[in-house]
Amino acid sequence: MFDDSKKRKRILFLARAMPWPLHGGARLRDFNMLQALSADFEVDLLTVGRNQPQVSALCAEVHLPTPYYGDENIWLALCRWGAAGIETLRGPEPLWLTSKTNGTLRRAIRDLASDQSYDAILASELSSASALIGQTSTPFVYDAHNCEWRLLNSTREKQTGLRRLVLNREVPRLRAVERLAVTKSDMVFVTAQTDLDELRDLAGAEMAAVRVVPSTIDLDRYRGVREGTPEPGTVLVPGKYDWQPNLIGLEWFADEVMPVLRDKMAGQPLNVIVAGRMTDATRAKLEAIDNVTAAQNPDDMLDYFRRASAIAVPVLVSSGTRLRIAEGLASMRPIVSTTEGAAGLDPGAATPWLVANGTEGFADALSRILQDGALADAVARDGWDFVQALDWRSLRQPLAEAFGQIIGSRR
């Protein structure tokens, strides 16, 4: 809770969605950033959705100009996509961005950003940063969860037909907007060195000051999970599956990996739980697959991590925040990930997760983890050692230093 007895600098935090419940990498990152910032600054949050006590307890004020994103009905969703399509046709921004926001939110961002009482602004994700460009004299940080244009380009390369034609137009537009964001902001946060390298390739000498700020986890929150007993043969596949890059990997896992894994686990217990944000269509497809259950839009993921004997990260298009892995490590559960799923995380000489690629390799690694208790325990222990450095409290000092550097400065 903000302590009124202390005079602290004011920060406006722009988040595309209410950072609670914690069922997605972006929300986890935003919530832990908010926890760390609120320890040293007075923080106002501008976001959408329904107010949550876990969030408002950390803020001086929460601004909710519209409840549309994540809590919308079909009519509101159609209105949002229709307005996004019109905005994309009229302006330079791609549908990739305009569909993640709306006019009400963008006006609220610009109105609050013009409030001279703020000492700095943190724009979480590109849709928020793009709304600030040219609209404020207050120094702002762009928290780049990904190198967005490369992520979209990787998605484009896996598409065919009309969807690929649309993305052929979207990618260069997104690249142009992202270049503006990383050159016009006062500082850029990136989650990993790989993202830093890609953004520097994009911006060249005009790149703003940049810091690597890893995604973190609240280790205390998973204590009960670590102390719980997993269910034999249970695999958890956590993620945000209403997002196309994640959905690509999930479809590969469901269509190709599951039949092989089922054969390798013949005669032994096997229950695969896919948990996270997903549409009704995705849930129905998953429920039609033998040995698979879908947990659609759960308010809390902790019980699913407790039940899991193994965590699967079937990512084919790198997503950036890598918090599915961090949650698994904090839960002391062994993890099997593709190379892309762990991109940007450097395990050093340790083996905090198993890396497996291709259908046969991924299914084989999962089956070994499920059947070899000694291997599972060793990987989980190494993972716990690795994740100690990713507790959210480690963010306080670097965030305080970063905002101290830009507060009072002007471009």
- Span 49-76, pLDDT tens digits: 888 999 999 999 999 987 655 555 666 6
Considering the domain architecture, whether residues 193 and 137 belong to the same structural domain is answered as: yes
Instruction: Provide mean pLDDT across the span 361-365.
Output: 98
- Range with lowest mean pLDDT among 41-45, 102-106, 146-150, 265-269: 102-106
Instruction: Provide mean pLDDT across the span 157-170.
Output: 89
Instruction: Provide mean pLDDT across the span 213-240.
Output: 94
Q: What is the per-residue pLDDT across 378-407, written as a single tens digit (0 to 9) for each?
A: 999 999 999 999 999 999 999 999 999 999
Considering the domain architecture, whether residues 379 and 269 belong to the same structural domain is answered as: yes
Is residue 411 in some structural domain? no
Sort strands 354-355 and 234-238 into parallel, antiparallel or unpaired: unpaired
Q: What CATH number should be reported for the domain holding residue 266?
A: 3.40.50.2000
Is residue 3 in some structural domain? no
Most confident of 75-79, 214-218, 257-261, 390-394: 257-261
Instruction: Provide mean pLDDT across the span 244-272.
Output: 96
* Alpha carbon separation from 98 to 126, 128, 156, 190, 248 (Å, rounded): 11, 10, 18, 22, 22
Is residue 383 in some structural domain? yes
Identify the DSSP state of 217.
B
Task: Of 151, 144, 145, give the one whose Cα is nearest residue 316.
Answer: 151
Task: Of 198, 135, 142, 130, give the one whose Cα is nearest residue 13.
Answer: 142
Considering the domain architecture, whether residues 150 and 255 belong to the same structural domain is answered as: no
Considering the domain architecture, whether residues 56 and 149 belong to the same structural domain is answered as: yes
Confidence of residue 344 (pLDDT cuts 50, 70, 90): confident
Check residue 9 and give left, alpha or beta (phi > 0: left; psi -120 to 50: alpha).
beta
Considering the domain architecture, whether residues 352 and 304 belong to the same structural domain is answered as: yes
Average pLDDT, the chain: 90
Q: What is the number of residues in the chain?
A: 411
Q: Are 238 and 315 in contact (CB under 8 A)?
A: no
Unique residue bearing structure tokens 């923080």: 43
Tell me the residue range of the domain where 331 lies.
219-390
Considering the domain architecture, whether residues 170 and 232 belong to the same structural domain is answered as: no
Considering the domain architecture, whether residues 295 and 367 belong to the same structural domain is answered as: yes
Most confident of 144-158, 197-211, 336-350: 197-211
Write 355-364 long-range contacts (CB < 8 A, 24+): 359/252, 359/256, 359/257, 359/260, 360/260, 362/253, 362/257, 362/312, 362/314, 362/336, 362/338, 363/257, 363/260, 363/261, 363/264, 364/264
Q: Residue 242 burial by CB count (10 A; 0-12/13-18/19+): exposed, middle or buried?
A: middle
**Higher per-residue pLDDT: 47 or 4:** 47
Considering the domain architecture, whether residues 293 and 151 belong to the same structural domain is answered as: no
Single-letter code of the amino acid located at 47: T
Instruction: Provide mean pLDDT across the span 299-326.
Output: 88
* pLDDT for the residue 5: 42
pTM: 0.85
H or E element in which residue 122 lies: strand 120-124
Number of domains the chain is built from? 2
Is residue 77 in some structural domain? yes
